[in-house]
Amino acid sequence: MTCTLLALSACSAKNTADTDAKATPTPSATPTATKSVDPSAAAEAEAVTAYSAFWREMERAYAAADVDASKLKDYASGVALVKTQVDTERMKKKGSSFSGGVTLTDSTVTQLDDSKKLLKAKLSSCLDVTKWVVLDKDKKPVALPSTRLTKYVVTATMERWADGWRVLTNTPQSGQPC
Confidence of residue 34 (pLDDT cuts 50, 70, 90): low
Domains of the chain: 40-173 (3.10.450.240)
Q: What is the pLDDT of residue 39?
A: 81
* Whole-number pLDDT of residue 35: 62
Beta-carbon contacts of 122 under 8 Å, excluding residues fewer than 6 positions away, are 109, 110, 111, 155, 156, 157, 158
Q: Which of 33, 31, 35, 15 is nearest to 23 (CA)?
A: 15
d(C-alpha 128, C-alpha 150), whole Å: 6
37 burial level (CB within 10 Å; 0-12, 13-18, 19+): exposed
Q: Give the pLDDT mean for 93-110.
A: 96
Residue 165 CB coordination number (10 Å): 25
Q: pTM here? A: 0.77
